[in-house]
Amino acid sequence: MYFYGCTALTHSFLQSPAAGVLTAGAMALAGLLALGWLSFFPSAEATTLALVFPPGLDEDEIFARITAADGRPIRQGASASVMVAAFPTPPGIASLTTMGVLLVLDPLAAQGCAPPSGDTAR
């Protein structure tokens, strides 16, 4: 009897206008979250990238890896293992793998609302 009651309740809810509104809202939210997630990744033509290296590498090692791949380090990211670098041409996956990069992000999206390095809140 309880099972029938739950089924009837579920069936009547799915036919109500509220179910359509909730479904549309959930799909819109999922789409916005997916677009937000995808905005963190750079385009294939990007030459300025935020590179995430394995933790434990010192700054000199990260600089050496970037310059060996014909890149120019610009600034350190929010973490010691994140470095923003510019390349004359978009680096390929093979080049990034050789450098030991774990993740590649769009530097503007990765920075978000954080103040530039060296700024302090007043």
Residue 114's pLDDT is: 55
Residue 87's pLDDT is: 93
Domain residue spans in the chain? 2-38, 48-111
Give me 18's structure tokens: 């509220």
Q: What is the pLDDT along the chain (122 residues), one digit of tens a residue?
A: 445 545 554 555 566 777 777 777 888 887 777 766 555 667 777 888 989 999 989 999 999 999 999 999 998 887 888 899 999 998 888 888 899 999 888 887 666 555 555 544 44
Spatial distance between the Cα atoms of 72 and 63, rounded to a whole number of angstroms: 8
Domain 48-111 sits in CATH at 3.30.70
Alpha helices in 2-82 (DSSP H): 2-14, 17-38, 59-68
Report the 3 state secondary structure along 61-105.
HHHHHHHHCCCEEEEECCCCCEEEEECCCCCCHHHHHHHCCCEEE
pTM, full prediction: 0.61
Q: Give the three-class secondary structure for 40.
A: coil
CA distances from 20 to 10, 15, 50, 53, 108 (A): 14, 8, 41, 45, 37
